[in-house]
Amino acid sequence: MSKKAYSAPDAKQPVSAGKIAVYVILILWALISIFPVYWMLTFSLKNNNEIFGENVIGLPKYWVWENYTRAMNTGNMPLYFLNSVIVAVSTIVITLLAAVMATYAITRLDWKGRKSMNKFFMLGLTIPIHASIVPLYTTLAKLKMLNSYFALIIPYSAFSLAMGILISIGFMGDIPYDLDEACFLDGCGVWGTFCRVIAPLMMPAVATVGIYTFLQCWNELMFANVFISKDSLKTLPVGVQALSGQYTTDWGPIGAALSIATIPTLLVYVFLSKQIQDSFIAGAVKG
Amino acid sequence: MKRPFSYKLNIFLFLLPALILFVGVLIAPIIMSGYYSLTEWNGLTTPQFIGLANYQELFTSKSINIMRALKNAMLLALLSTFIQLPFALWLALKLSKKPRGERVFLSVYFMPVLISTVVIGQLWIKIYNPDYGVLNLLLRNLGLDNWTNIWLGDKKTALWAAFVPILWQYVGYHMLLMYAGIKGVPPELNEAAMIDGCTEGQVNRFIIIPYIKPILRVSVIFAVTGSLKSFDLIYVLTNGGPNHATEVPSTLMINLLFLRNRYGMGSTIAVMLIILCFVFAILINMVFKEEKGR
């Protein structure tokens, strides 16, 4: 779609006061939406004099990159970052594997009860994490698995699963059945078909499910806060929260820490905004 | 066609990873939570079955004061439904008219949804900072010194100050859902209405809004159940303080569980929340169905 085709008719109409008012509100809300992040990125590069009076909302006059080195050195940020990456990547892999396999069984294999099985999984879209926090905590404690990556990876995978299946079903429907049949006739069997035909063609779903799962576990606070108390295993949200409590007067390094936690998400968003938005829409419309 | 046993086994094997995760982490714990909610339990000894005593205590205890937490959550739900959602709908309607920069606006409005609530909470704490925060600075520069406040520390303002970031963060989410719904309205409907001389307002009211009702329903359900379950931002901003003024059910639950080791009572709150969310979802569905019938 070309943008010109749409904007041309608008240009002919006289610009009314109402339209200008609408535009002003749209721009105002855009500024309000973006302001906290803009402010964070700028004060992460300022010294205290600028932050606390000289230059509160402008761009930094002297770029204090030292804030970032301080956040990295004193605040364990690299460790929290690494923990978040490990948890996110493992969760994405497990969610994808389980979701794509289950989707294959539900949509491609022929058996009674596959529709009910799908509905059963879709229950997961509505179950709040509150429902399982106590049993998970006590069970993990019994298994001596609190304070381990698994204490987060397994619950995160389970709670991302319904969404993963929902998105995968949409994508798998686009793969022509002829391909399965051809492969079957060549004597592939279900596993062969799955590995050679379905899995490679599910790559677009992998991206969408992966992004959605990434955002969920990168930002999750309640489980991460409760299941992990050891500093060396904390993920970014919990780590940043602890840091902010320790350095209440040093805004520069805190800003740097907050930015370090946020920049990966922003980068993903800049490059994949359409996919991200689509995955959120898919979850809501079906859920 | 008769299927060999190995085929059935394969189906089972394909479902196995998902089933283990799903039953182990979601289904079994719900049942366990239901049982724990009927027990007195400190997490160390074996749970003592006490029937509905926790529920009775929950709704009568002055020290827990669940009613205040529920009232706060309901206030958030009301603000969300009657201020946040209408504003999101207005944005979606305006953006769907393809103003210049439509994509940019859409992406900017949605951005706060993706940022960690801890980051957002910490930023708003700084925005509200009584000495150096942007809000008080702005008021001082406008000559409104009397209006400056210790926003999150004052019992009178803390609740509203904590709600603003929550409402702010998710405007973009609801806007996106509604925008996607509006894009799904067949263009013929709009054109026909325009030819019949409908104004933009009439098209919105009589064509678009009725058409996207299923999405509005989802948005209302998310707004209400999300408010009941709200935790992250309140936890970061005030953790229920000052003097419990901003307590919501989830912060109460976490405090009972991990500060007072009352696992039974914590589960009771969890179960109550799940039931409440479920009941509200059904009620909202009924309201939307009735509208359809008329």
Q: Report pLDDT digits (tens) over B217-238.
A: 989 998 999 999 999 899 999 9
pLDDT at A4: 43
Angle at A63 between CA B135 and CA A240, to 5 degrees: 60
DSSP 8-state class, residue A196: I
Would you say residue B93 has pLDDT above 50?
yes
Instruction: Quote the CA–CA distance of B141 and B137 in Å, as a whole number.
Output: 6
CB distance B273–A269 less than 8 Å?
no
Chain A CB contacts of B47 under 8 Å are: none
Of A40, A127, A137, the CB nearest to B26: A127
For residue B293, name the pLDDT band (cuts at 50, 70, 90).
low
pLDDT at B276: 92
Of A134, A226, A238, the CB nearest to B36: A134
Find the range with the poorest average confidence among A170-174, B77-81, B164-168, B271-275: A170-174
- Burial class (CB within 10 angstroms; exposed 0-12, middle 13-18, buried 19+) of A247: middle
For residue B147, name the pLDDT band (cuts at 50, 70, 90).
confident
Would you say residue B3 has pLDDT above 90?
no
Chain A CB contacts of B36 under 8 Å are: 134-135
pTM of the model: 0.87
Sign of CA dihedral A142, A145, A147, A152: negative
Instruction: Quote the CA–CA distance of A149 and B151 in Å, as a whole number.
Output: 37
Instruction: Quote the CA–CA distance of B247 and B262 in Å, as a whole number.
Output: 17
Chain A: nearest CA to B50, how far in angstroms? 18
- Burial class (CB within 10 angstroms; exposed 0-12, middle 13-18, buried 19+) of B275: exposed
Would you say residue B248 has pLDDT above 90?
yes
Chain B: nearest CA to A116, how far in angstroms? 13
Residues of chain A whose pLDDT is less than 70?
Answer: 1-14, 283, 285-287
Q: Give the residue-averaged pLDDT of B155-168.
A: 93
Of A215, A225, A261, the CB nearest to B119: A261
Residue B5 one-letter amino acid? F
Would you say residue B131 has pLDDT above 70?
yes
- The residue of A134, A159, A216, A265 whose CB has the most chain B CBs within 10 angstroms, and thus the best one to mutate to test that interface, is A134
Residues whose CB falls within 8 Å of the CB of residue B239, separated by 6 or more in sequence, listed in order: B251
CB distance B94–A281 less than 8 Å?
no
pLDDT at A74: 76
CB atoms within 10 A of CB A221: 20
